[in-house]
């Protein structure tokens, strides 16, 4: 498979710029990890009350290569232990965005959640994408499901 000039098995370089003092480079926590943990870059603790959502800065900007996107996904430990997740999961970082990565966290738990500087708040995943040509058509080819939607294949 080839995405632009990158082929399967090649390494991919993503440039990261620290925008704030104390910003950390995203980090894979195990050799088999797909995601890079993102760290909160905060001057003071940020409390997210139950039902509340807040953007948590990471202090970094990245340059995603053409043909790729970056996705911000929840950390399973935060979801399990605190009921905290990424509200717009997965959040997409387009390859032409150069601003600070911020993570939109929501607290679905029962207690206030305290985000502190250096906390691991989300995962950053890189994925190739394709941009298809879209066209209007008079009809679509038939399928077994046709227009059956939510729950139509069983629960």
User: Whole-prediction pTM value?
Assistant: 0.86
4 in a structural domain = no
- Classify residue 13: in a domain, yes or no: no
Both structure tokens of 55: 């953007």
Task: Kindly report, residue by residue over 103-126, the tens digit of the pLDDT.
Answer: 999 999 999 999 999 999 999 999
**How many structural domains is the chain composed of?**
1
Q: Give the single-character DSSP code of 8.
A: T
Residue 19 lies in a domain: no
Structural domain includes residue 140: no
- 62 in a domain, yes or no? yes
- Residue 57 lies in domain: 35-128
Domain assignment present for 154: no
pLDDT, tens digit, for every residue of 62-92? 999 999 999 999 999 999 999 999 999 999 9
- What span, in angstroms and rounded, lies between the C-alpha atoms of 135 and 133? 7
What CATH number has the domain bearing residue 98? 2.70.40.10
Burial of 37 (C-beta count, 10 Å sphere; 0-12/13-18/19+): middle
């Amino acid at each position: 498979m080839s995405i632009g000039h990158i082929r399967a098995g090649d390494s991919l370089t993503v440039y990261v710029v620290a925008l704030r003092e104390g910003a950390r480079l995203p980090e894979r926590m195990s050799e088999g990890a797909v995601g890079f943990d993102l760290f909160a870059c905060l001057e003071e603790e940020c409390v997210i009350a139950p039902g509340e959502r807040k953007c948590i800065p990471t202090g970094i900007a990245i340059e995603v290569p053409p043909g790729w996107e970056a996705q911000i996904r929840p950390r399973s430990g935060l979801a399990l232990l605190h009921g905290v997740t990424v509200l717009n999961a997965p959040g997409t970082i387009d390859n032409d965005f150069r601003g600070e990565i911020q993570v939109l966290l929501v607290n679905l738990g029962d207690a206030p959640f305290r985000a502190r500087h250096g906390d691991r708040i989300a995962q950053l995943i890189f994925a190739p994408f394709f941009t298809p040509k879209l066209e209007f058509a008079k009809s679509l080819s038939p399928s077994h499901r046709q227009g059956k939607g939510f729950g139509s294949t069983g629960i």
